[in-house]
Amino acid sequence: MSTDRPSDRGVAQMTRRLALGDEQAWRWLHDHYFGILHAAAVARGASPSDGADLVQRTYLRVLRHAKRFHTECDLRSWLCCLLRCEAIDAARQGKRSEERRVGKECRSRWS
């Protein structure tokens, strides 16, 4: 597989292969975009290990949404958008977890 950025036709083929779980396509995606996505996650405030987790969860979003990818979109932009959505969801989940923890502490103090 070429290490260059794929053409629009190549991107369409790549996303189809990703949707089918093609190991080579996933390896190519990881080799080319992990660093970019990880840097974006850390820039959004994630620790390096949390950033790696966000990238992994972004890959799951790619798997779920690859069939709907529009080839007129830029692959890198799409991946960064999916990462941003994943980061927002993780932040919301973290906030809910913290609210539950504080709520339990308050209830235990007043019970």
Rounded-to-integer distance, Cα 24 and Cα 101, Å: 43
Write out pLDDT tens, residues 38-57: 999 999 899 999 999 999 99
Give the pLDDT confidence of 85-100 residue by residue, as tens digits.
999 998 888 766 555 6
pTM of the model as a whole: 0.75
CA atoms within 13 A on the CB side of 80: 12
